[in-house]
Amino acid sequence: MEPLPRLGARRILAGNRFFDLVEEEIEGRSGAMYPYYSVASKWDAVVVVPVLPDGRLLVERIYRHPYRAWMDEFPAGGIEPGEDACAAGGRELTEETGWIAGRVRPLQRFEAMPGLLRMRLHIVLAEDLRFAGPTAHEEAEFITVRQLSVDEAWALTAGDSVSSFLTFGLLALARAS
């Protein structure tokens, strides 16, 4: 196994309840120290692929402020300390869409963007859905929910509204299966 580069000073430049902006010194090949900036999440996250009994998908239309745009995504959110990824996925699904999953099972886990962001993403499949009622959106969370066939959801990828490689990849897998 390759040795890890030597680290120097580490500082948290800014932070909030979700992330810290971190500056670390990392030793380069020449021995000189270089600043390396990254974002460290304070918890893992879960992305939910919700499949209705008729095979359609629940897809959120969500406002993403860094882009000043509405985007199409699967429900997602943070995993609370001590919480299981499947339980978090079920909770996020209900909070964001108003639907309850009869069954949630893990599909995969990934590192989100390992060169910039330290956060593990857990992907779960939510099935046996039933509508439960109102959502529980946070004050600055703007979400509408649509029920789309896999082909309708895939058609969204032709435009700019599918915001993440993850949503795109999960739709590609759903379309292929």
| pLDDT for the residue numbered 90 | 98
Note whether 37 and 68 are same-domain residues: no
pLDDT category at 167 given cuts 50, 70, 90 is: confident
Q: Over range 122-136, report the average pLDDT.
A: 93
Render pLDDT for 83-123 as a digit per residue (tens, 0 to 9): 999 999 999 999 999 999 999 999 999 898 899 999 999 99
Terminal Cα distance for the chain, rounded: 37
Phi, psi of 75 (to 5 degrees): -60, 145
pLDDT tens column, 137-155: 888 889 999 999 988 888 8
Looking at residue 140, its pLDDT comes to 84
Tell me: do 72 and 34 sit in the same domain.
no
Give CA–CA dist 1/39, Å, rounded: 26
Do 131 and 72 fall into the same domain? yes
pLDDT (average), residues 2-17 = 96
> What's the average model confidence in pLDDT over 66-77?
91
Any idea what the Cα angle at residue 6 is, between residues 38 and 122, rounded to 5°? 40
Kindly state whether residues 33 and 57 are assigned to the same domain. no
Alpha helices in the chain, H assignment, sequence order = 85-97, 150-155, 165-176
pTM of the predicted model as reported, rounded to 2 decimal places: 0.87
CATH number of the domain enclosing 128: 3.90.79.10
Instruction: Tell me: do 19 and 52 sit in the same domain.
Output: no
Residues 67 and 139 in one domain: yes
pLDDT at 15 over 90: yes
Q: Is residue 156 part of a domain?
A: yes
The answer on pLDDT for 80 being more than 70 is yes
DSSP at 156: G
Q: Is 66 helix (H, G, I), strand (E, B) or coil?
A: helix
- pLDDT tens-digit readout, 42-66: 999 999 999 999 999 999 999 989 8
Question: Which among 142, 169, 137 is positioned nearest to 154, based on CA atoms?
Answer: 169
Would residue 134 count as lying in a domain? Answer: yes
Number of domains comprising the chain: 2
